[in-house]
Amino acid sequence: MAQRISRPPSRGREPQGIIARLIWRRVPHWLGAYLAGGFGLVELVGMLEDRGFVGRGAFLVSLATYLLGAPVIFILAWYHGRAGPQQVERLEFGLLLAVAAIWLAVLALYLFL
């Protein structure tokens, strides 16, 4: 008997399993692009700070932004990575606000302590 080849799920059906769901929602694609591009920008800011083109502390601000940007990209990819139109959900908005509040707290601690 011939084996049946499994087809990828249609746009409306979400696959089973966490890895398949992450790939279906394109989370690795978004995170990979963000991590590669962001790392280059953090390195660029570090070099500019070493040469005196930007003020002291620019590297730490860019590093904090880079590190706290990864959860933002994950949230955005999870909710908006799959094909087709999506709308902003309350949980997504709340998670993004929480990450923004953490980012502001980290920057405030760095700038005022």
Separation of alpha carbons 73 and 22, rounded Å: 13
97 lies in a domain?
yes
Give dist(CA 13, CA 15) in Å, integer: 6
Domain count within the chain: 1
Instruction: Say if 33 falls within a structural domain.
Output: yes
Torsion sign, CA atoms 7, 12, 13, 18 = positive
Answer yes or no: is 71 within a domain.
yes
- Indicate whether 70 belongs to any domain: yes
Are 65 and 101 within 8 A, CB to CB?
Answer: no
Contact 30, 77 (CB under 8 A): yes
Tell me phi and psi for residue 19, to 5 degrees: -65, -45
- Tell me the pTM: 0.79
Residue range of the domain that includes 37 = 20-112
101 lies in some domain: yes
Question: pLDDT digit of tens for each residue in the chain (113 aa)?
Answer: 555 554 444 556 778 888 999 999 899 999 999 999 999 999 999 999 999 999 888 999 999 999 999 999 999 999 988 877 888 899 999 999 999 999 999 999 988 87
